[in-house]
Amino acid sequence: MSDSQPPLRPEQFDRYRRHLSLTEVGVEGQTRLLESRVLLIGAGGLGCPLAQYLAAAGVGTIGIIDFDRIDASNLQRQVLYTTADIGRPKVEVARERIQAMNPDVEVHTHAVALNSENALKLFAEYDVIVDGTDNFPTRYLSNDACV
């Protein structure tokens, strides 16, 4: 962010007013959130609400890794999706919903299975990696790649 550019636009002051009133966050903290890059592994039962909260908080870039498509059995716990989304890639629908929720957020989608060949390259572009998966091999791989 350049010194000549104001840290937040007027509509961002409105959107993030509650954060701005917290001494622990303020304008500097909100600006840092808007500049941050978070990679979310999984867009399922854990990943959906994580994505919503990250977007609502104003995390500037959210990456989502998930290779799956929406199934009717997902709908009772994966809160980003609706019946009309069945059969669509999770990352596509998640991107649409997140951007509709907060236009400040840039969403990068990675419709791939995380593996030892792509983990380091995918992780390198992000400040924080969030594990929203439900299987141990992916969790161990994520931990190893982060370390």
Tell me, what's the pLDDT at 145?
A: 96
Q: Which structural domains are found in the chain, ordered by start?
A: 39-146 (3.40.50.720)
Q: Among 98, 97, 129, which Cα is nearest to 114's?
A: 129
Q: Contact 68/114 with Cβ under 8 angstroms? A: no
CA 46 to chain centroid, in Å, comes to 12
Tell me, what's the pLDDT at 3?
A: 54
Q: Contact 83/71 with Cβ under 8 angstroms? A: no
Q: pTM for the full model?
A: 0.92
Tell me, what's the pLDDT at 136?
A: 93
73-114 pLDDT, tens per residue?
A: 999 999 999 999 999 999 999 999 999 999 999 999 999 999
